Amino acid sequence: MLTKKILVFFPLLVLAILLQSYFWVPNYDNQSKGNPKRLTQYITASIGDASILNPILNADTASSEICEKIFEGLIDRDEDLKLRGRLAENWEIYEEVYFYFNENFARISKGVETPQMVRETIMSVDPSAESPAFLSNIKRIEIIPPAMEERIISEQIPDSEGKTKEVKVKISIQHPPRIKVVLHEVDQDFFYKLETVLGKGYFDQERLAPFLTISDTRFAERQADYLRQYLPAVEHNPVIIFHLRQGVRFSDGHEFDGRDVLFTYQAIMNPANRSPRISDFEPIKGLEILNPYQVKIIYKRLFQPALNAWSIGILPEHLLNKDCLAQEAGEKGLEPLELNLRQSDFNKTRPVGAGPFKFSEWRSDQYIKLVRNEDYWEGPPHYHEFIYRVIPDMLTQELEFYAGAVDNYGARAHQVNRLKLDPRFQNFSGLSYSYSYIGYNLRRELFQDKRVRKALTMALNIPEIIEYVLYGEGEVTTGPFLKQTDYYNPQVKPVPYNVEKALELLHEAGWDRDADGLLRKDGKYFEFTLITNNGNPYREAILIIAQNAWKKLGIKVAADRIEWSVFLQKHVNVGNFDALVLGWSMGIDPDLYQIWHSSQTGDYQLNFVNYKNPIADDLIVRIRQEYNEQKQIQLCRRLHEIIFDDQPYTFLYVAKWTALLDKKIAILEKGEDGSEIIKKITPTKTGSYSFYFNNWIKFPDVPTFTPGFDTG
């Protein structure tokens, strides 16, 4: 009886959806006649709502998509993936390197050597000679005199009850003379090369031990660590100077300058804000405002992704500084220190950036409305409004699209070929900059044996998932790098589908089937819950497929779909899950620190599966420090092998994306003579068809393209 009621109700539901779409906006064929304003609105559909509209705090795709419209970074990548200036017009990069004078070396002078003599020795070497040609990179050399320094640090020690207590330790440092070398360009091999001039062993770290003393002898065994931290024999300090674009204003009219850059950095590094971006900015040693439109950023070590990190949206200091938050706290009846940036209403009701659109309205689980920023530094977008509608059901999205109530939506794989033939639409497709996976919570004892994780992967027929769930619109992937890049290791082959071998691995790990065919170990059943967010048909299908496949092994698997915001806040962000089906959208840069480094496993951090491998950690750091692209590729491919071997994820697939747009939408630009140029929309190397979104416009009828701009 219940089934019959549902079947009777379903047509009424569809009718209601269609009627809702009718009243929302006229259909495609009558948009301009029924509602001319619709030509200036762009409406997109999403299965999930945003969670927080702050570029330094968000960690989900929906929030990120909105933030990209409201906020602007110092730089980004152009259509050819080359870095270009945004809020920064341009920049310069050089390096300051430091090393301590080694009084034990008298190789050059055959007697007593001084820092000045070392300087003169370096500068006197013929830079045209083949072996020391790197010396031509030297801009200047300075001598820093000896200095005394004392540091008070906090350490933890066990007390008489077996608990830990905090103690203060004084470290006294007697800095020997130091030599500073300013280089025209970053050279990660500078000290290896300089040894050919000054002598092998010149930069020995241990010889500096007498210059550092520890007040508390209980910590004497940590002297080597203190030496590396407070008295490093050599130091690389890359420097970026950003020249900021003048005359840029936030959407509230306040002028942007270096104070906003400094504030954004400080907000990221403030632990109270729990920004998932900390790892991108922790390598910064100092940020100095040289003048209102020039900032100098010094890094405390080699950090190859440094420049790319500044694509982060810049926050308005004048709205979020200490005084502003204190005032907001008072309005809420709180003490000033009880409210931090993450708790501010700025993130929900009044986000302000320097991007192409301004925030207008947010109705949770319904829509977010933006209006164009008339004072946007690059000129206002053609669209007057950008509306982000939350439609969790994919069928409803499809019906809304056909009715003209949304301009695009995530077409499902089985619709792709049919929709490509529809004359009303233009379509785009390509391999996405993302991958889907099943992640295992390695905090759970159940998943700590990699043989178990490999067995779970082996029990899934991933090629069949691609064929039947994605209708062939995807490719198998085996690791954490974008498949389109050279960082991805094509030599790593997928785990083969083999149920019998999976059972053998589980047996090796101590799991055996009982009389009922269920896996048990030490009297405990193999059981866990697999979760994902609702509204995503692909993830929901994988949820059921994995549940059924693992049940065949004798595993008790519960499956649960959870509303997106709850899924993030109650499960992902705090590591409260057994296993989950999810995906990552990736950038071009191969830096995987935030997702895979063992230091990033805390609440609101992105290594929420708690993956920890010291070899992987070392490779991740080396990749961040490697400026030679070919060497970086080799390191990435080795990291790919290690993560794949550990199987903290079951890597599933890279989906192909397909986008559909009304044929009346095109790119409108002005020629040098002021004439209008109408261009066809085409994907760029960024993997996006919407790179020129600010120049999109919807015409009343299908436009005629300007000759030469009608093909992709």
What proportion of the chain, given as a percentage, has pLDDT over 90?
Answer: 66
CB-side neighbour CA atoms (13 Å) of 211:
23
Angle at 379 between CA 674 and CA 587, to 5 degrees: 120
At 458-469, the pLDDT tens digits run 999 999 999 999
Phi, psi at 146, each rounded to 5°: -60, 155
Place of tokens 């940590």: 222
Place of tokens 């729990």: 274
The separation between CA 60 and the C-alpha centre of its own chain, rounded to angstroms, equals 10
Residue 263 CA to residue 127 CA, distance in Å, equals: 42
Phi, psi at 268, each rounded to 5°: -65, -40
For the chain, the distance separating the N- and C-terminal CA atoms, rounded to the nearest angstrom, is 54
Phi, psi at 175, each rounded to 5°: -70, 125
The separation between CA 182 and the C-alpha centre of its own chain, rounded to angstroms, equals 32
pTM of the model: 0.78
At 651-692, the pLDDT tens digits run 999 998 877 888 999 999 988 888 999 999 988 877 778 999
Mean pLDDT value of segment 220-245: 93
Q: Is the pLDDT of residue 406 over 50?
A: yes
Q: Is the pLDDT of residue 160 over 90?
A: no
Q: Per this entry, what is the length of the chain?
A: 712
Place of tokens 């974008």: 482
Walk me through the domains of the chain, giving residue ranges and CATH numbers: 72-87+245-345 (3.90.76.10), 97-235 (no CATH), 434-657 (3.10.105.10), 664-712 (no CATH)
At 491-536, the pLDDT tens digits run 999 999 999 999 999 999 999 999 999 999 999 999 999 999 998 8
At 174-185, the pLDDT tens digits run 999 999 999 999
Instruction: DSSP for 423-489, please give it.
Output: TTEEEEEEE-SEEEEEEE-TTSGGG-SHHHHHHHHHTS-HHHHHHHTSTT-EEE--SSS-TTSTTS-
How does DSSP classify residue 300?
A: S
Mean pLDDT value of segment 24-47: 70
More confident residue, 411 or 58: 58
Question: For the chain, what is the mean pLDDT?
Answer: 88
Answer for the pair 70, 313: CB distance below 8 angstroms, yes or no. Answer: yes
Residue type, 102: N
In three-state secondary structure terms, 267 is helix
- Say how many C-beta atoms besides its own lie within 10 A of residue 570's C-beta: 13
**C-alpha dihedral sign at 83, 84, 86, 90:** positive
In three-state secondary structure terms, 352 is coil
Residue 63 CA to residue 148 CA, distance in Å, equals: 49
At 49-98, the pLDDT tens digits run 999 999 999 988 899 999 999 999 999 989 888 899 999 999 999 999 99
At 552-609, the pLDDT tens digits run 999 999 999 999 889 999 999 999 999 999 999 888 889 999 999 999 999 999 999 9
